[in-house]
Structure 1
Amino acid sequence: MTDLAPPTGEPLALDLINTRPRTQDGPADLLATAEGLRAWLTLQESRLAGALPEGGDAPLTDGDLTAAVRAVHEVRDHAAAAIDRARRGLRPPEDALRGLNRAQRAAPAVRALTWDGTAVTAVARRDGPPGARLAAVLAEAVAELLTDPAVTSVRECAADDCVMLFLPAHPRRRWCSAARCGNRARVARHYRRRRALDSQAAEPDL
């Protein structure tokens, strides 16, 4: 796995876990810094309602994001531990479940009522510092996946050097990305077959 672009498109809980890819230099953390977290939040913006500033809210500062990194890491650690067990039909670690519950309680969602000029509308909002709000939304996404029977269908990419998780829409899917790991696997198979054929052709006739 050499592509460090954050993978997206899986359930939010898996996209969060997948921010720790394996590279040629070893494990990487795409959310290690405020800059990395900001880039990931931009990619996931449409799925983070109630966690990010909206409308006239002040934008997130680098200080906000630096403080949020630790909270996000804690939720990610708990998510990885819980989903790893649940996808195999096993009981998740109790401390992981407690940690996810704690993150949700720290910034519960409230249906904020407003008048838009013609009717009352309700928008999900969360109080608290940005890190707590973000951690709560992410922990809620993890809870949704853990309580979904589909969690037992979550798989790890079949590529030897990849640790990405995905929820297959088709039971024959083997790769986190056909364009990335799937293509690399096909190329590797092609070269192995080619080497085997070349080796056979080079053997002297007896």
Structure 2
Amino acid sequence: MVDTTPLLGEPLALDLVNTRPLGADLLATTEQLADWLARQSERHPDLALDRPTAADLTAVHEVRDHITAALDALMHGTPPPADALRALTAAQSAAPATRRLHWDGTAVVATPHRDAPPAARLSAVLAEAAADLLTGPALARIKRCEADDCVLLFLPAHPKRRWCSPDRCGNRVRVARYYRKHKE
């Protein structure tokens, strides 16, 4: 059975890819997207969006597909598809961030701002997160969950971590191993 709660806490690009576990799409509706964005906006305030539209959902799906294609290729030791990289670059270009300067009472503060429709802003933020992940040192540490029926990706904080979540797959695998061992 697929857990329908999105796994959060990984880098943003991985959290997005992980919204499509085996056999499900956890961002199939605008309501699910609104919930995911609300949860993510605690860590990524630039993702706050009250009422996502179908256009926003389509834009997020497109970015997710391109990130997935690039990560799948890289994790298999092959170059990422050029069209995926071009699409992620285009998404960033459609809503570039401008740092607006203002005085907060004690210091000058720079706040990123994007002048674009919500779908373009969402795509740009997610594509930038993908660019950071795909070009950073963390890329080499990404692992796929070792549970047989899980495809989620994660960055292990500990080198011995084997599952996307100890509460999800880790516990399920340990319980199955216990029952196999005691059934013999």
TM-score category (smaller protein)? over 0.9
CA offset digits 1:7-35 (Å, max 9, x no partner):
0011111000000112xxxx111111110
Structure-1-length-normalised TM-score: 0.83
CA offset digits 1:75-109 (Å, max 9, x no partner):
00000011122234431110110010010001000
Q: 93-102 vs 165-174, which deviates more?
A: 165-174
Percent sequence identity is: 60
Q: Which residue of 1 aligns with 2:75?
A: 87
Q: 2:148 aligned with 1:152, yes or no?
A: no
Q: Which residue of 1 aligns with 2:14?
A: 14
Please state whether the residue corresponding to 1:8 is helix, strand or coil.
coil
Q: Which residue of 2 aligns with 1:5?
A: 5
Tell me the CA shift for residue 188 of structure 1: 0.7
Please state whether the residue corresponding to 1:47 is helix, strand or coil.
coil
Q: 70-79 vs 117-126, which deviates more?
A: 117-126
CA offset digits 1:41-71 (Å, max 9, x no partner):
1110033343436xxxxxx33xx43220000
Q: 2:165 aligned with 1:177, yes or no?
A: yes
- Contact 1:154/1:166 (<8 A) preserved: yes
Q: Which residue of 2 aligns with 1:161?
A: 149
Tell me the CA shift for residue 117 of structure 1: 4.9
- Contact 2:2/2:24 (<8 A) preserved: no
Q: Distance in 1 between matches of 2:144 and 2:84?
A: 20
Please state whether the residue corresponding to 2:113 is helix, strand or coil.
strand
Q: 83-92 vs 176-185, which deviates more?
A: 83-92
Q: Which residue of 2 aligns with 1:140?
A: 128
Q: 159-168 vs 80-89, which deviates more?
A: 80-89
CA RMSD of superposed structures (Å)? 1.6
- Contact 2:38/2:48 (<8 A) preserved: no
Structure-2-length-normalised TM-score: 0.93
Q: Which one-letter code corresponds to 1:8 in the other structure?
A: L
Correspondent of 2:182 among 165, 175, 194: 194
Q: Which residue of 1 aligns with 2:26?
A: 30
Q: Distance in 1 between matches of 2:113 and 2:45?
A: 8
Change (3 A) 1:186 1:70: same
Please identify runs of 4+ aligned residues in structure 1 that moved more than 6 A.
none
Q: Which residue of 2 aligns with 1:114?
A: 102
CA offset digits 1:115-161 (Å, max 9, x no partner):
44555432101111111101100000000000012212211111111
Give ranges in structure 2 of 5+ residues lacking alignment. none
Change (3 A) 1:98 1:188: same
Q: Distance in 2 between matches of 1:8 and 1:67?
A: 23
Q: Distance in 2 between matches of 1:48 and 1:89?
A: 30
Q: Which residue of 1 aligns with 2:60?
A: 72
Q: Which one-letter code corresponds to 1:92 in the other structure?
A: P
Based on CA coordinates, which of the two structures has the bigger radius of gyration?
1
Q: Distance in 1 between matches of 2:158 and 2:55?
A: 39
